[in-house]
Structure 1
Amino acid sequence: MSDESVKCSKCGVFACLENKPLNTPKFCPMNTREDVLDAALKQYFNLDDQKMMSAAACTVIKGIANSWTRIEDVINFAREMGYKKLGIATCIALISESRILTEILETKGFEVKSVCCKSGNNFEGDIGLHDIDLKLDFESANNLNVNSGGQKDIPLCNPIGQAFLLNNEKTDLNVLLGLCTGHDALFIKHSEAPVTPLIVKDRRTLHNPAAALYGSSHFFKRLMKPEME
């Protein structure tokens, strides 16, 4: 296997879109990681993975043809897979959005279970965190539309708890609704059901992270500046 690393984001050839790829860059994984790609290809013959891939392909085709929203994509994918019970793992700041999503999914015939990120009412000491400051002041809490209940400490998010609760409900598919960066990773790690994101947390861009990429040469120039040591 070549020592060249995988760098698809630096490719301008897109040979992988051709029927018989030619002139691939030296770092193309089709040249440097053939054994890994062969192993992946074999994995698609796993019946569960094959079924999911088929459902995803059908959703892509129908979605493009009908100009579907992401919500409609999720609904169709769930139907293609035969899923009946859907879970929503939501940030507490997006409870209103979770209510709307629940109504939509229930209208489409799904059973819906939803779990808020603050479920468990855990604090730093409860999970062994004592050496970092996780406190939010009252103004910050108000900006998050969180009622602090007169406390200076705000309960921690509980992504593992969210995953365990939805595992306990035996959901078929879990939908992420605005979990914080890292919390979403923990939820995915511990979820027994497949996970798909619907809203990705980005407070600055109203949950549209792509905006920062499109604005990296203008509004978000700071992203392109090297970090000062």
Structure 2
Amino acid sequence: MEKVLHSCVDCGTQNCKFKTRTYPEFCPTTHLKEEDRAWALERYDEGRNREIMIASAEVEFEGYCQWTRVQEIMEFARKIQAKRIGIANCIGLIREARMFARILQANGFEAYAVTCKVAGQAKSSMGIPQKCEQIGAAMCNPILQARLLNEAHTDLNVVIGLCVGHDSLFYKYSDAYVTTLVTKDRVTGNNPVAALYTAESYYKKKFFKG
């Protein structure tokens, strides 16, 4: 029988955070190879990675349980001297993207948005099954979104509601660092963690078969 590979989700102590408990025997921290630790630490000296880490930690501390994510993004942008903020949004969340842009501009930032349907490319022209056009003929174009924001020389890009997978492609092709403001969930009003909160009640039969 194949051995079960335990990971951090199987841990009940979280000693990596508290430092007053014991690590489980399968803990990645206790089995960490020094070369892996060193490799990760070396990466923080590449480019602006250390600056990003420090700014992120400061934002977490300074706004802990006080700032909304909208405000956190603005404070983070200030700390890394990001002036022009790119917005990669789902067209279904254009109102939210427009409001975010207004907030950015009211707080001294430039805002430049590219919506997902840019270019209006037909889904079928890319080999996407014809049936997918029943919910809209134009394909989402996250790679083009990234390219146009790159050409606009944005300092930081913010994702607002890109589809699962489309967001992955945007992250891959964006030159600027990317953070996410909104994660799309059409069922829960863009609150995907709601499905986790109700996974043992309302959604139990959907998630756990048999």
Superposed pair shares fold, TM > 0.5: yes
- 1:104 pairs with 2:103: yes
Residue identity matched to 1:70:
R
1:5 Cα deviation (Å)? 4.8
Q: Secondary structure at the match of 1:154?
A: coil
1:13 Cα deviation (Å)? 1.1
Residue identity matched to 2:172:
K
The share of aligned pairs that are identical, in percent, is 38
- Larger mean Cα displacement after TM superposition, 44-53 or 78-87: 44-53
Quick one: structure 1 residues 47 and 180, their matched pair in 2 at CA, closer, same or farther if it must change by over 3 Å?
closer
Write the mapping of 1:1-229 to structure 2, written as runs, cut at 5 A.
Answer: 5=5, 7-19=7-19, 23-34=22-33, 35-46=35-46, 48-64=48-64, 67-127=66-126, 129=127, 131=129, 133-136=131-134, 140=135, 154-226=137-209
Q: Secondary structure at the match of 1:201?
A: coil
Q: Secondary structure at the match of 1:31?
A: coil
1:219 Cα deviation (Å)? 1.5
CA distance in 2 between counterparts of 1:4 and 1:23 reads: 21
Per-residue Cα deviation, 1:112-164 (whole angstroms, up to 9, x for no partner): 1001100011013432x05563121xxx5xxxxxxxxxxxx520111111111
CA distance in 2 between counterparts of 1:57 and 1:180 reads: 28
Q: Secondary structure at the match of 2:62?
A: helix
CA distance in 2 between counterparts of 1:131 and 1:221 reads: 31
1:43 Cα deviation (Å)? 2.0
TM-score by length of 1: 0.84
Contact 2:159/2:178 (8 A) holds in 1: yes
Contact 2:121/2:138 (8 A) holds in 1: yes
Quick one: structure 1 residues 170 and 215, their matched pair in 2 at CA, closer, same or farther if it must change by over 3 Å?
same
TM-score by length of 2: 0.91
CA distance in 1 between counterparts of 2:170 and 2:146 reads: 5
Contact 2:91/2:116 (8 A) holds in 1: yes
Per-residue Cα deviation, 1:168-213 (whole angstroms, up to 9, x for no partner): 1010110000001011011101111111000000011000011000
Residue identity matched to 2:77:
A
Quick one: structure 1 residues 130 and 77, their matched pair in 2 at CA, closer, same or farther if it must change by over 3 Å?
closer
Contact 2:123/2:129 (8 A) holds in 1: no
Residue identity matched to 2:133:
K
1:6 Cα deviation (Å)? 6.2
CA distance in 1 between counterparts of 2:169 and 2:55 reads: 26
Contact 2:156/2:176 (8 A) holds in 1: yes
Contact 1:173/1:194 (8 A) holds in 2: yes
How many correspondences in the alignment? 207
- Larger mean Cα displacement after TM superposition, 34-43 or 164-173: 34-43
Residue identity matched to 1:182:
G
CA-based RMSD? 2.0
